[in-house]
């Protein structure tokens, strides 16, 4: 059973000491493909280097939290990082109206700039949206966005249907394993066509709440992806093996990797 973790923040400081062990546990757990998330220009460079050195893949983009730090050098820098063969998508980019670390006007401006960059380069998009529906969908619709994944989907049915209508892939994390805030996803994941579903850990964040024992310092890592797979398979009434095969096939087709 081979799985693809389409979103892992392996540049995070919490992985600095033991990345070898983390990657070896991922391999043993059957996670054969990992896409390292880039969240700023600096971080995307780091993600691309990590991908090259470790046989992984990476994205290049600026998270909405960091939109306020963007300037005229941002897009040229991302364009250059994205030319690296291991960089398979633009992002993570999008809107975050939950934390609001950057003003909405900055978030929108640099979200649109990255959508345009992805179109120019013909790369898929790794999108972040938190409490930003329906504005997020409206921007995507206006710009006729191409291949894109709504990573870490945690929204409600109306939002999910809007994304599916836009042709988006949907990334599901361990949020679904949280019986308090993720319960609605157990129902909603049934509505995602099998060929649009992707799995991710969002490591080191979003450790599945029902994982026993809970990992040290509650750090999430790609080796926990099979746990998420089983939760999604249970919710959809599918065999984990079949869902593993389908989501891995989707991930490879989406990112254009072998």
Q: How far is the CB of 96 from Zn ion (least distance, A)?
A: 8
- Which residues contact residue 33 at a Cβ distance below 8 angstroms, ignoring those fewer than 6 apart? 2, 3, 4, 5, 57, 248, 251, 252, 257
Q: Which of 128, 133, 224, 227 binds Zn ion (CB under 5 A)?
A: 128
Window 230 to 249, contacts with Zn ion (CB under 5 A): none
By CB under 5 A, which span of 78-86, 128-136, 219-227, 234-242 interacts with Zn ion?
A: 128-136
Shortest separation between residue 205's beta carbon and Zn ion, angstroms: 8
| Shortest distance, position 240 Cβ to Zn ion, whole Å | 25
Cα–Cα distance measured from residue 47 to residue 41, given in angstroms and rounded to the nearest whole number: 10
Q: Rank residues 45 and 65 by Cβ distance to Zn ion and give the closer one.
A: 65
Residue among 40, 28, 35 at smallest CA distance from 50: 35
User: Under 8 Å CB-to-CB from 142, ≥6 apart: which residues?
Assistant: none
Taking alpha carbons only, the member of 35, 94, 85, 84 closest to residue 61 is 94
Closest CB 127 distance from Zn ion, rounded Å: 8
Nearest residue to Zn ion by CB is: 128
Q: Establish if 65 lies at the interface with Zn ion (CB under 5 A).
A: no
Contact at 8 Å (CB) between 152 and 200? yes
Between residues 93 and 244, which has the closer beta carbon with respect to Zn ion? 93
Q: Which is nearer to Zn ion, 5 or 244 (CB)?
A: 5
- Least distance from Zn ion to the Cβ atom of residue 92, Å: 5
Token couple for 3: 């799985």
State the nearest-atom distance from the C-beta of 152 to Zn ion, in Å: 5
Which tokens go with 208? Answer: 């599945």
Nearer CB in complex with Zn ion: 117/171: 171
Output 91 or 162, the one with its CB closest to Zn ion.
91
CA dist., res. 240 & res. 15, Å (int): 28
**Angle, alpha carbons 7-144-44 (nearest 5°):** 30
Number of residues in contact with Zn ion under rule CB under 5 A: 1
Rounded Cα–Cα distance for residues 247 and 189 (Å): 13
Interface residues toward Zn ion, by CB under 5 A? 128
């Amino acid at each position: 059973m081979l799985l693809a973790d389409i979103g892992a923040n392996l540049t995070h400081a919490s992985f600095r000491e033991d990345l070898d062990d983390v990657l070896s546990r991922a391999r043993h757990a059957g996670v054969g493909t990992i896409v390292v998330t880039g969240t700023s220009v600096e971080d995307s460079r780091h993600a691309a280097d990590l991908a090259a050195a470790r046989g992984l893949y990476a994205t290049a983009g600026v998270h909405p939290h960091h939109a306020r730090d963007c300037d005229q050098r941002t897009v040229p820098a991302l364009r250059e990082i994205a030319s690296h063969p291991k960089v398979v998508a633009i992002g993570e980019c999008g809107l975050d109206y939950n934390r609001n670390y950057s003003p909405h006007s900055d978030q929108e401006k640099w979200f649109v700039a990255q959508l345009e960059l992805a179109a120019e380069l013909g790369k898929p998009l790794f999108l972040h949206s938190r409490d930003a529906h329906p504005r997020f969908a409206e921007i995507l619709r206006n710009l006729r966005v191409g291949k894109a994944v709504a990573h870490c989907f945690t929204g409600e049915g109306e939002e999910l249907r809007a994304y599916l209508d836009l042709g988006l892939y949907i990334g599901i994390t361990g949020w679904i394993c949280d019986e308090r805030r993720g319960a609605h996803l157990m129902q909603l994941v049934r509505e995602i066509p099998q060929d649009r579903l992707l799995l991710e850990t969002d490591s080191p964040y979003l450790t599945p709440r029902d994982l026993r024992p809970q990992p040290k310092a509650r750090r999430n890592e790609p080796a926990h992806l099979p746990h998420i797979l089983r939760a999604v398979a249970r919710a959809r009434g599918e065999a984990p093996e079949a869902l593993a095969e389908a989501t891995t096939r989707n991930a490879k087709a989406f990112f254009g990797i072998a």
